[in-house]
């Protein structure tokens, strides 16, 4: 066990929290607790994973592993006991989460409300599942605790009274969110009931969290609030500025709800910070953001978990505590980095089979990082359930109804066989997206080929199959798949991918035609303008390229690819200082961006900042060893700086091998 840097670690999850909404509220002084945390710590964007589905993401946060490793592959899964479907549970997770590792290491931990956290796990500490706060009866009837929602069970009698039923809420709690609630027709309009349910559920979990902080010792504590995400799904269409299809009266009724949700979470944060005390290290984060401006979706897809279309691929992170920098910004953080960072704070080893890294840039001094091959191989009691533990039918039904209410799954019907079939299909499709997101198209290919064969009418399967063929450089198959989709309905995404195929084939005019048509159909998608910019760049039409990249940034100011495109453009124009600034912005938004580091190296090398250029090129090669020109630049730098001959020879050998590989590939083609 290495040096323990944090006496305690408090991890707070705000599902769907987004800086785009937070920053104006901070400027207005309406989130003072978060502002205090920011001023005493570091903040940054937190890149998410795809697919952007909360059960998968929060379990990646808690394990440091992608969903294909941790086993949570959606909202529901087939139930092998009765041949139907069930919600994903704590037994669906195949690997140890932070609280299990703490238990195994002799530390006391508590976890509350975590996604896929039912039944509560028997850890060394208190575990409270999301169903603790779920009302299972009307207000005038008994409200028993859901079985297995609290560990240890003996605390049930103590914690049950802290729950709040939606029917208990009074105008004093509702009016700050909807000041004109009296004008609502509650028989026709269910928004008030929705707000009451979200508010009561989050208050219940918060009440339990405050009791634990006041009464239970702890080393690590994780509290998950779903409120912002649920408020956004229910009320984001009414958030200012008013969308054209939203009636003026409804806009006036509900326009304050989303901002109210953030201020409500700040009030809860203030109490958590008071109880945790100044000796606690605090991490506040979200798994993704939520579109709140002109990028709000116009419609919800019918296939798959449609509401996820509103999710923005950038979340938030804020860290404060001993040994951490203060009032600083960090760049390139990914939600897979949370578990390695927390383990390092607690003086515990980071497993080599975790997919994230320690956020060393958040520390005042680089911490010592101990490594082990895998926590899964460490013996001893860790507080995980046996894999065969069965969830009781009442609990399963309660969780399913919650997912149905949010629109993530369809309501189960009498055709259970069809429901199971759809569930299995989604459980296959989601890992295929994970493989594509983690640059493993070979693993995704057989899944997508089978799904497309079984359901040829599902455009999303064929689109991802086309993308998979493209990623594998199987251009003939990619083109055939995507041309069929274009003919079937002119899908802009098919035009988009087909344009990329033509780019790979160096048919720039055809590529430009398809990408332009896609951008005309979906002008709000920043990635389309990025592809147009890259196409113009290859055609040496620099003015049009710059316009396209700037248009992408106007739509999404947090686009690393847009900054990378501008960096490449500036290099073409020999504007080296400007190129370095754009490249820094790109890798700051996404650390794993090899071409961003390469462009930064070129700009710095041209400006004779050789030490920094060397670091940039070495970083690029650590991510993409096949960057031939990065090796060439390093040879030139090392010759100028007098590096040892062995180092130079290693890069020269790499250059020769890459050149030979290119010759062989050209000959084979």
According to the model, what pLDDT value does residue 390 have? 59
- How many C-beta neighbours within 10 Å does residue 81 have? 10
For residue range 15-61, what is the model confidence (pLDDT) as tens digits?
Answer: 999 999 999 999 999 999 999 999 999 999 999 999 999 999 999 99
Architecture (CATH level 2) of domain 439-522: Alpha Horseshoe (1.25)
According to the model, what pLDDT value does residue 405 have? 64
Average pLDDT of every residue of the chain: 92
Whole-number Cα distances in Å, 531 to 356, 366, 367, 505, 569? 29, 38, 40, 15, 14
Same fold? 8-400, 439-522: no
Which residue in 173, 272, 258 sits closest to 221, CA to CA?
Answer: 272
DSSP for 308-350 reads GGGEESEEEEEEESTTB-SSEE--SEEGGGHHHHHHHHTT-PE
Q: Which residues contact 625 (CB under 8 A, 6 or more apart)?
A: 654
According to the model, what pLDDT value does residue 197 have? 94
pLDDT band at 303 (very low <50, low <70, confident <90, very high): low
Q: At what angle do helices 257-276 and 19-27 cross, to 10 degrees?
A: 80
- How many C-beta neighbours within 10 Å does residue 106 have? 10
According to the model, what pLDDT value does residue 448 have? 97
Say if residues 152 and 125 touch (Cβ distance below 8 Å).
no
How far apart (Å, rounded) are the C-alpha atoms in residues 478 and 530?
21
According to the model, what pLDDT value does residue 190 have? 85
According to the model, what pLDDT value does residue 556 have? 82
For residue range 497-516, what is the model confidence (pLDDT) as tens digits?
Answer: 999 999 999 999 999 999 99
Q: Which residue has the tokens 């019918």?
A: 302
Locate the domains of the chain by residue range.
Answer: 8-400, 439-522
pTM above threshold 0.85 = yes
> Strands, DSSP E only, in 51-149?
76-79, 84-87, 109-112, 127-128
For residue 104, pLDDT beyond 90: yes
State the average pLDDT over residues 425-454.
Answer: 95
For residue 115, pLDDT beyond 70: yes
Q: Where are the alpha helices (DSSP H) in 346-415?
A: 393-406
Q: At what angle do helices 441-454 and 416-437 cross, to 10 degrees?
A: 150
State the average pLDDT over residues 225-245.
Answer: 95
For residue 440, pLDDT beyond 90: yes
State the average pLDDT over residues 360-382.
Answer: 96
Which residue in 109, 101, 124, 122 sits closest to 1, CA to CA?
Answer: 101
SS3 367: coil
- Torsion sign over Cα 77, 83, 89, 93: negative
Query: For 230-234, 290-294, 464-468, 523-527, which range has the lowest pLDDT when averaged over its residues?
Result: 523-527
Query: For 150-154, 414-418, 420-424, 470-474, which range has the lowest pLDDT when averaged over its residues?
Result: 414-418
According to the model, what pLDDT value does residue 79 have? 75
Question: CA end-to-end span of the chain, whole Å?
Answer: 53
According to the model, what pLDDT value does residue 410 have? 63
**315-344 core/surface letters (b: 16 or more CB in 10 A; e: else):** bbbbbbbeebbeeeebbbbbbbbbbbbbbb
8-400 — its CATH code?
3.40.720.10
SS3 76: strand
According to the model, what pLDDT value does residue 619 have? 94
Which residue in 601, 596, 528, 516 sits closest to 563, CA to CA?
Answer: 596
According to the model, what pLDDT value does residue 591 have? 78
State the average pLDDT over residues 291-315.
Answer: 80
For residue range 590-642, what is the model confidence (pLDDT) as tens digits?
Answer: 777 999 999 999 999 999 999 999 999 999 999 899 999 999 999 999 999 98
């Amino acid at each position: 066990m290495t040096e323990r840097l944090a006496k305690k670690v408090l991890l707070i999850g705000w599902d769907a929290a987004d800086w785009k909404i937070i920053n104006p509220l901070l400027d207005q002084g309406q989130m003072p607790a978060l502002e205090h945390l920011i001023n005493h710590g570091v903040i940054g964007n937190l890149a998410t994973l795809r697919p952007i589905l909360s059960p998968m993401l929060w379990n990646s946060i808690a394990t440091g592993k992608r969903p294909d490793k941790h086993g949570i592959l959606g909202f529901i899964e087939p139930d092998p006991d009765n041949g139907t479907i069930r919600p994903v549970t704590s037994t669906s997770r195949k690997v140890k989460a932070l609280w299990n590792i703490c238990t195994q290491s002799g530390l006391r931990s508590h976890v509350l409300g975590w996604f896929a956290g039912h039944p509560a796990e028997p850890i060394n500490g208190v575990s409270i599942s999301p169903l603790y706060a779920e009302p299972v009866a009307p207000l005038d009837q008994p409200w028993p605790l859901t079985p297995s929602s609290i560990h240890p069970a003996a605390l049930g009698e103590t914690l049950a009274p802290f729950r709040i039923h939606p029917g208990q809420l009074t105008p004093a709690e509702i009016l700050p969110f909807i000041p004109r609630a009296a004008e609502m027709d509650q028989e026709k309009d269910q928004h008030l009931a929705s707000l009451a349910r979200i508010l009561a559920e989050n208050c219940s979990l918060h009440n339990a969290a405050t009791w634990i902080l006041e009464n239970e010792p702890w080393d690590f504590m994780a509290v998950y609030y779903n409120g912002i995400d649920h408020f956004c799904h229910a009320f984001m269409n009414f958030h200012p500025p008013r969308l054209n299809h939203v009636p003026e009266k409804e806009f006036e009724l509900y326009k304050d709800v989303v901002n109210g949700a953030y201020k409500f979470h700040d009030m809860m944060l203030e109490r958590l910070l008071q109880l945790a005390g100044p000796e606690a290290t605090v991490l506040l984060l979200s798994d993704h953001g939520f579109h709140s401006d002109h990028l709000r979706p116009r419609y919800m897809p019918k296939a798959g978990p449609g509401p996820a279309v509103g999710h923005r691929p950038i979340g938030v992170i804020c860290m404060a505590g001993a040994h951490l920098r203060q009032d600083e910004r960090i760049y390139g953080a990914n939600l897979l980095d949370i578990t390695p960072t927390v383990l390092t704070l607690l003086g515990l080893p980071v497993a080599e089979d975790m997919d994230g890294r320690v956020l060393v840039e958040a520390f005042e001094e680089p911490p010592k990082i101990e490594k082990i091959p895998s926590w899964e191989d460490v013996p001893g009691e860790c507080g995980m359930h046996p894999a065969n533990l069965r969830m009781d039918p009442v609990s399963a039904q309660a969780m399913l109804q919650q997912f149905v209410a949010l629109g993530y799954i369809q309501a189960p019907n009498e055709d259970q066989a069809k429901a199971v079939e759809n569930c299995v299909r989604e459980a296959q499709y989601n890992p295929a997206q994970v493989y594509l997101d983690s640059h493993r198209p070979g693993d995704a290919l057989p899944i997508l080929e089978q799904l497309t064969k079984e359901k040829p009418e599902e455009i999303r399967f064929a689109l991802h199959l086309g993308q998979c063929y493209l990623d594998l450089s199987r251009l003939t198959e990619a083109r055939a798949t995507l041309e069929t989709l274009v003919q079937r309905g002119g899908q802009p995404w098919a035009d988009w991918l087909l344009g990329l195929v033509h780019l790979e084939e160096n048919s720039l005019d055809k590529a430009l035609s398809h990408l332009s048509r896609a951008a005309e159909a979906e002008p709000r998608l920043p990635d389309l303008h990025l592809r147009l910019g890259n196409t113009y760049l290859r055609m040496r039409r620099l003015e049009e390229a710059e316009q396209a990249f700037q248009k992408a940034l106007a739509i999404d100011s947090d686009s690393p690819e847009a900054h990378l495109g501008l960096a490449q453009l500036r290099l073409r124009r020999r504007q080296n200082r400007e190129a370095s600034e754009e490249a820094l912005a790109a890798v700051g938004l996404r650390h794993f961006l090899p071409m961003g580091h390469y462009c930064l190296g070129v700009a710095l090398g041209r400006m004779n900042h050789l030490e920094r250029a060397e670091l940039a090129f070495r970083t690029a090669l650590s991510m993409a060893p096949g960057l031939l020109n990065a090796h060439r630049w390093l040879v030139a730098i090392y010759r100028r700086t007098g590096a040892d001959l062995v180092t130079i020879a290693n890069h020269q050998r790499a250059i020769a091998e890459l050149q030979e590989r290119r010759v062989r590939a050209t000959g084979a083609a």
